[in-house]
Structure 1
Amino acid sequence: MIDWARLQGVYGPAHDVPTLLQAAGNGAKEAWDELWIQLWHQGNTCDAGIAALPALASLAQHTNRAVRFPAIELAGEIVGAGLREGRPLEKMKELHQPVAMLSALADGWLSERPAGYRVCFRAKLALDGFPVLSDVLDDFLDFCCDVSCPQCSDKVSIVIGDFGCYSSIRDWNLGDVHPIPLRPAAPDDLQDAAQGLHHAAIRDEQPRLAWGLRHVFGDAECGTCDTAFSVLSALEAKRSPSTEFQENAGAATAPAGHDEGKNRHWPAPPF
């Protein structure tokens, strides 16, 4: 039995969370708005947010989409924030079943190919243990972010998109110097949650998303010390808020000597 009077929300006491959850289950938009404020706000969660996950898993089974979808989305944000904050969610046995259920329900939502597909996929990523990837997920048109080489600590730019899929040591004046092609994971080499996420993208006819995921789940090479490293591991090691990644998003530049348009140096994505 949860003693809500002893728990704190993001901005204060959480004693009214049970009442809000009940109202949200009846489709009250105002209740959902208040739950977002109390349980997750601007990338942060709280003890009350973690405690609410079993209730959100129950709401995610509701027949009313106006209840089911917000429950999955909010739960995904809470789990993602909790993992980024270093909360040991995987060690909390009481969360294993609710989170697994939420992940399965998110997959079912994805299979319906909703208008908010990307929102649901982000929730699924977080629920499956990829909070940083949930933060940085975009359309893979010109994805770019900087990570640190795990060997020499130099800043390495990772680019995935129409300009190419490569790692590079970025020069302020020259752009991406000596780009090195990424090594995407083969579909058959993906395992567990990564395999399931890639399968969902293929199943739901999201070829660019599946293509981007294979590169994120693959390897990159440092142009300074030639060390090969996991793209995902480097992203997770950074563990920065989404706003920092977004500052770099869309900043991909063509390699030196590259012309846009018909003289594209890099092969176009296969779709």
Structure 2
Amino acid sequence: MVDWGRMYDCRGDVHRVPELLERVEDDEDDAEAWDELGFRLVLERDLVFPAGFAALPRLVRLASRSGRARGLAGTIMRCAAGQHGCDDLLAACPDAIADLRKVLDRHLRSKPTDYLATYLDLLAVNEQYHWSAVMGDFSDDFYVIACPHCAAEVTIAIGGYGRYSAIRD
């Protein structure tokens, strides 16, 4: 059982988080509650608060039937490598993390439209935080890198331009 009195969210308190969790558990289509819950638990997809880790098991229970719960739980996991001071709360969630891994894997097998976001969440659940953070930047762009063997400039296209590499125009 979570001692919500010891938690805090992005506003420095936590009294609304349990209420919001109850609202989304009762009505998974309550967009207002989801928006406020997401804002209180994770600040701009970058910083997670203790209330986020405390809410993780409840979010994971909803994740198999709610894309919003799956996305918010995944976002919390992507932030887990940051300086949040909540390693003890995260360590207390091994069952929820294992369940989230199964939910994300099952969702990926359905070839969803949110494949990249779900894949990044799965990388974070598998403690591949670096790849989870940087792979989101590989979309619809050209990248110029040096070949590690011969130092020739290689242009890599990923996204709407196609997927190819070239060493000249």
| Shorter-chain TM-score range | 0.7 to 0.9
Structure 1 residue 178, shift from structure 2 partner: 1.8
Tell me the equivalent position of 1:41.
43
Tell me the equivalent position of 2:12.
12
- Structure 2 CA distance for partners of 1:141 and 1:19, relative to 1, 3 Å: same
Tell me the equivalent position of 1:259.
168
Aligned residue for 2:9, secondary structure, equals: coil
Query: Structure 1 residue 58 and structure 2 residue 61: aligned?
Result: yes
Normalised by the length of structure 1, the TM-score is 0.50
Q: Note the alpha carbon deviations across 1:244-263, whole angstroms, 9 max, x for none.
A: xxxxxxxxxx99xx422xxx
- The 2-side partners of 1:131 and 1:167 are apart by 24
Q: If each structure's helix is expressed as a fraction of its own residues, which one has the higher value?
A: 2
Structure 1 residue 24, shift from structure 2 partner: 1.6
Give identity over the alignment, percent. Answer: 26
Runs of 4+ displaced beyond 2 Å: 84-94, 138-144, 165-168
Normalised by the length of structure 2, the TM-score is 0.77
Q: Which runs of 5+ in 1 are unaligned?
A: 63-67, 145-158, 160-164, 169-176, 182-207, 209-253, 261-271
- The 2-side partners of 1:103 and 1:7 are apart by 25
Q: CA RMSD in A?
A: 3.0
Higher CA-based Rg: 1
Is the contact made by 1:54 and 1:98 (CA closer than 8 Å) also made in structure 2?
A: yes
Is the contact made by 1:7 and 1:15 (CA closer than 8 Å) also made in structure 2?
A: no
Q: Note the alpha carbon deviations across 1:143-199, whole angstroms, 9 max, x for none.
A: 57xxxxxxxxxxxxxx4xxxxx8449xxxxxxxx82499xxxxxxxxxxxxxxxxxx
- The 2-side partners of 1:123 and 1:134 are apart by 7
Tell me the equivalent position of 1:32.
34
Tell me the equivalent position of 1:243.
none
Q: Which runs of 5+ in 2 are unaligned?
A: 159-164
Structure 1 residue 12, shift from structure 2 partner: 2.1
Paired positions, count: 155
Is the contact made by 2:47 and 2:79 (CA closer than 8 Å) also made in structure 1?
A: yes
Query: Structure 1 residue 178 and structure 2 residue 87: aligned?
Result: no
